[in-house]
């Protein structure tokens, strides 16, 4: 209501061009007011955020894109329970480009409206090849069937539109969805009853994480032609690529519901050979370098022993990102999350409302801070905030409560289209 009144006052007796300029200024000011930033005295050079909101970026003068660090979190939905005027339903995108490999994007949760959020951000559908669902509640799941239908359509027509939409000689990648048992049945039922045509040439793989009750449950729903059930895996390591490892652990949310937190960690790079030092020791580039990179000492033909510690050094430290779904107790995830660079944790309510939060299986801002402190994390992003916390005063209170229990100042209030780059080698503060 206040927004409508403000717009009317701005528009009276103004030409169309002037009206558009006033609307743009008002919306930009409103965005900045509702997304408070840390005061200068508490900012750290190693932790910063920037917006990828297309409306703000297109109208902000001298907009400068931040340097690409190879790992970046983008919040596409930070609301609790469903979309609101200011926040979309839950979704976090993790953009990866480690070790110089081709870039890829992974989504964590896929709430209502995720497809449009992706289209409104710099993230490309073509780069998304994995989606992880923390639990089977609607606000984390209802956007997935529509997203898969859109993806299948793009995959089917990639030969027609790949040059126009993707700007390269390939269409969307193969897509795999991970989530609790029951996810495959849900997707088959939804796609079948909504009459989404099966497309075997654009099939999506579904990998389910074994439930706490039965690890070998067979799918009950009639299969859909666009989905392939790729089996059931136990909690722990569920994805291993040449550059990243994804692990999960079961956390506490609601009785009778399996919920998971995910940890994404880079694969450690081999040690870096100091070429000049190696030459002084009598080594030339060749197969022996591989032994040195593995930390093994080598013996030259004259019997000289060259120690790996003398001619090599540790490479950049692998980064670790932790994404916690809805929970009131995520202590089972702490061993996997130890020494994380950044933790994304829900903060549905304030500390004073801990009884209400516990009753519904959610966390307070202080609870999020305590988890990050136990995990010895270097930074914390608060998300999944209740719509009752819409004012700057309420949001600042959430951040201060999280800082107090975390014991660090590196706490960021998540907002839609907020990007957080993680520097190479991780945070140093």
The residues annotated with a catalytic role in the active site are 139
Query: What are the residues whose beta carbons fall under 8 Å from the beta carbon of 218, sequence distance 6 or more?
Result: none
**Coil, strand, or helix at residue 380?**
strand
Closest C-alpha among 191, 185, 151, 141 to residue 171:
151
Residue 258: Cβ-neighbour burial (10 angstroms; 0-12, 13-18, 19+): buried
Largest CA distance in the chain: 91
- Give residue 142's Cα distance to chain centre: 18
Distance CA 384, CA 64 (A): 28
Taking a C-beta distance cutoff of 8 angstroms, is the pair 363, 346 a contact? Answer: yes
Q: DSSP letter string over 221-279? A: SPP-TTEEEEEEE-SEEEEE-SSEEEEEEEEB-STT--EEEEEEEEPPPPPEE-HHHHH
282 C-beta neighbours (distance < 10 Å), count: 11
Closest C-alpha among 139, 148, 146, 150 to residue 78:
139
Taking a C-beta distance cutoff of 8 angstroms, is the pair 272, 312 a contact? Answer: yes
Taking a C-beta distance cutoff of 8 angstroms, is the pair 349, 359 a contact? Answer: no
Give all strands (DSSP E) within 114-212, no chain letters: 128-132, 176-180, 204-209
Backbone angles phi, psi at 411, to 5 degrees: -125, 125
Taking a C-beta distance cutoff of 8 angstroms, is the pair 325, 354 a contact? Answer: no
Distance CA 411, CA 328 (A): 19
Taking a C-beta distance cutoff of 8 angstroms, is the pair 135, 259 a contact? Answer: yes
Distance CA 304, CA 301 (A): 7
């Amino acid at each position: 209501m206040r927004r409508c009144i403000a717009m009317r006052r701005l528009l009276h007796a103004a030409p169309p061009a002037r009206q558009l300029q006033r609307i743009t200024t008002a919306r930009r000011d409103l965005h900045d007011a509702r997304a408070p930033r840390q005061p200068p005295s508490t900012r750290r050079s190693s932790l910063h955020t920037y917006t990828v909101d297309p409306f703000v970026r297109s109208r902000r003068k001298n907009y400068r894109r931040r340097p690409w660090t190879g790992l970046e979190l983008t919040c596409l939905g930070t609301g609790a329970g469903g979309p609101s005027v200011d926040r979309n339903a839950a979704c976090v995108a993790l953009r990866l480009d480690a070790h110089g490999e081709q870039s890829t994007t992974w989504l964590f949760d896929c709430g209502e409206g995720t497809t449009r959020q992706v289209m409104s951000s710099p993230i490309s559908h073509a780069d998304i090849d994995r989606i992880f669902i923390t639990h089977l509640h609607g606000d984390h799941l209802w956007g997935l069937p529509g997203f898969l239908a859109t993806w299948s359509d793009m995959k089917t027509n990639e030969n027609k539109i790949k040059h126009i939409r993707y700007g390269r000689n390939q269409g969307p990648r193969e897509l795999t969805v991970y989530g609790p048992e029951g996810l495959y049945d849900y997707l088959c039922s939804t796609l079948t009853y909504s009459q989404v045509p099966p497309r075997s040439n654009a099939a999506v793989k579904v990998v389910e994480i074994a439930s706490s009750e039965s690890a070998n449950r067979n799918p009950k729903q009639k299969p859909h032609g666009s989905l392939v059930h790729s089996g059931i895996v136990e909690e722990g390591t569920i994805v291993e690529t040449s550059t990243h490892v994804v692990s999960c652990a079961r956390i506490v949310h609601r009785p009778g519901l399996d919920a998971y937190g995910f940890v994404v960690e880079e694969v450690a790079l081999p040690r870096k050979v100091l070429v000049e030092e190696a030459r002084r020791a009598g080594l030339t580039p060749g197969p022996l370098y591989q032994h040195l990179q593995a930390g093994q000492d080598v013996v030259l033909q004259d019997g000289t022993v060259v120690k790996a510690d003398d001619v090599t050094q540790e490479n950049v430290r692998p980064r670790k990102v932790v994404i916690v779904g809805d929970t009131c107790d995520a202590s089972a995830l702490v061993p996997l999350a130890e020494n994380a660079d950044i933790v994304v944790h829900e903060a549905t309510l304030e500390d004073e409302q801990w009884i209400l939060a516990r009753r519904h299986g959610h966390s307070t801002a202080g609870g999020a801070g305590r988890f990050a402190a136990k995990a010895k994390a270097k930074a914390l992003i608060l998300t999944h905030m209740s719509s009752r916390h819409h004012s700057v005063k309420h949001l600042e209170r959430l951040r201060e409560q999280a800082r107090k229990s975390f014991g660090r100042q590196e706490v960021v209030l998540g907002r839609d289209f907020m990007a957080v780059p993680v520097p190479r080698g991780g945070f140093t503060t």
